[in-house]
Amino acid sequence: MLKTTTAMALALGLAVAATQPARAADAPTAADAAAFVASAEQQLAALSEYASRVAWVNATYITEDTDWLSARAGTEYTELGVKLAKEAARFDAVQVAPELRRKLTMLKLGLVLPAPSTPGAALELNDIATRLQSTYGKGRGTLDGQPVAGVDIEEKMGTERDPAKLKEMWVSWHDNVGKPMRQDYARMVEIANQGARELGFKDVGAMWRAGYDMPADDFARLTDDLWGQVKPLYDQLHCYTRAKLNEKYGDAVQPASGPIRADLLGNMWAQEWGNIYDVVAPKGADKGYDLTELLVAKGYTPEQVIKTGEAFFTSLGLEPLPQTFWDRSMITKPRDREVVCHASAWNLDNKDDIRVKMCTKVNGDDFVTAHHELGHNFYQRAYNKQDFLYLNGANDGFHEAIGDFVALSVTPDYLVKLNLLDKAKVPPASADIGLLMAQALDKVAFLPFGLLIDKWRWQVFSGEIKPEAYNAGWWKLRTQYQGIVPPEARDETDFDAGAKYHIPGNTPYTRYFLARILQFQFHQAACKQAGWKGPLHRCSIYDNKEVGKKLNAMLEMGASKPWPEALQAFTGSPRMDARAMVAYFQPLMSYLQKENKGRQCGW
């Protein structure tokens, strides 16, 4: 997850203040627009470090005091953010240079939750947003009746196989974390929608969709088209996984047809299924190694997990992280205080004060997460010479995709080079189905989840899903797209969406769906640049300086150009396309179709 000062200057934007009175005399000019943008960037830059440092302290030391400070700092940003957004709208009819128009548009669209100009609305909105995030950070579930913190219950959901205990953890987490948020969330939606309408948008969801260098409706169609390309692969994976769960648990727990019970998939949110590889592993297709076991056997520490991720990027020719990264990052969970354990990458001063915040554990999941978060950090540093409004990814999906694209190079050959895996134990080509299955359980299984989070929010913001039907709307989409159901009946006293961090954290989620698609497009292009001739899933770009040089050139662009131009700079094509992902998993697709012959797929 990304946290940058620019993102916070715009993305924290939960706010408002009355705009400066427009000049009654002459209409605004291009020169006025240029002067306004220059002033806006100066104002945002001046506040960004302060707000980021407050947010960092709040995320790494949750108390009533830091909650208060974070809400107030957010209020300052939001007041400035909406003020600037409304002033930017004054120049909609002014003819200006394309670069200036881009910046004006960014000022209008960069807000996540705009408040209306009603006195007190900005403070109320920030108080709610802070309270929602802190409620999540302090969340607990139970196992065997004993309280379990968020990061620990997440891990146990991946290792426990007793369906009764899985149900207890799932229900307790959703009840304890999500339920208390429901009233706050409805009020937050109401306030933010008022702010969005003042900026000229139908609702907050329409505002979010307008931020992708294309009309909002075109962007929605693009995501649907990308999903259409990969849905056949997901349907086959779902069918196969359901059959394996039925074999293990029986009809009483998991029927052989219909949706899958959500708590059986090895993840609190059923968003990634890699933790149940042992349950669904193809016969005779052992992937050959367990990354967690390799890391533990070599005595890896959480710090080494992070350092190994850094070493991949430096092998591509990128400069090492500054010493301040190691001095100031939160790499493990402190024992003496409440923190937000959800992993995130930060740049606090828009230059070199980059950090990671993780409650790192020595396991395969966090090894991959470390590569992902450091992808954000190296991206942040690459574009740090851009103008303030360009200190971001080409679009938010790019930022999420960079680290994941690098992690696709965590192949057996790469692990050999790290001395984690003995060369003699590199799995043969016959084991590729196992390796691809392990990847698909995370990468492919995630796709509908990555899409539906914002589809739910778009419908909430538009009023299609009303507050009295929040939970019904949530489960309708989860069943429609993922083919899953909760382990027990849920009703409108529940608020199960709130049990997923990005909902109370107000982080737009379509970026993660785009990232899953883009990472394979990046990977295919990089492997082609490296001259790779074998199967796409066996390619690693580790230690390839030429690929690194071309990659860094794209990263340095930041948000200075429309994302199709950045995409073309690295891949040669301006179009997002899921065919690279389909090609990567083609051997698995053939296997799944063969295994599923005779089964009733779908739900």
| CA proximity to 315, closest of 437, 421, 418, 423 | 418
Residue 343 annotated among the catalytic residues of the structure = yes
Residue 376 annotated among the catalytic residues of the structure = yes
Q: Please pick, among 174, 238, 342, 371, the residue that the annotation labels catalytic.
A: 342
| CA proximity to 186, closest of 483, 492, 411, 479 | 492
Residue 79 annotated among the catalytic residues of the structure = no
| Residue 53 burial (C-beta neighbours within 10 Å; 0-12, 13-18, 19+) | middle
Q: Please pick, among 234, 512, 542, 584, the residue that the annotation labels catalytic.
A: 512
The helix (run of H) or strand (run of E) holding residue 99 is helix 98-109
CA quadruple 260, 266, 268, 271: dihedral sign = negative
- Measured CA to CA, the distance from residue 38 to residue 347 in angstroms comes to 22
Q: Please pick, among 174, 238, 371, 376, the residue that the annotation labels catalytic.
A: 376
Q: Please pick, among 502, 523, 578, 580, the residue that the annotation labels catalytic.
A: 502
CB-CB neighbours of 552 under 10 Å = 19
Q: Please pick, among 174, 238, 371, 372, the residue that the annotation labels catalytic.
A: 372
- Three-state SS string across 222-246, please? HHHHHHHHHHHHHHHHHHHHHHHHH
CA angle (29, 30, 34) in 5-degree steps: 120
Q: Is 169 within 8 Å of 143 (Cβ atoms)? A: yes
Residue 338 annotated among the catalytic residues of the structure = no
CA quadruple 12, 511, 222, 459: dihedral sign = negative
Total residues belonging to the chain = 603
Residue 523 annotated among the catalytic residues of the structure = no
First to last CA, the chain: 32
| CA proximity to 356, closest of 335, 378, 381, 373 | 373
Q: Please pick, among 45, 71, 343, 578, the residue that the annotation labels catalytic.
A: 343
Q: Please pick, among 76, 79, 198, 373, the residue that the annotation labels catalytic.
A: 373
Q: Please pick, among 400, 440, 509, 591, the residue that the annotation labels catalytic.
A: 400
- Measured CA to CA, the distance from residue 529 to residue 549 in angstroms comes to 11
Query: Which amino acid is it at 159?
Result: T
The helix (run of H) or strand (run of E) holding residue 123 is helix 121-137
Q: Is 548 within 8 Å of 318 (Cβ atoms)? A: yes
Q: Is 107 within 8 Å of 88 (Cβ atoms)? A: yes
Please give the positions annotated as active site.
342-343, 372-373, 376, 400, 502, 512
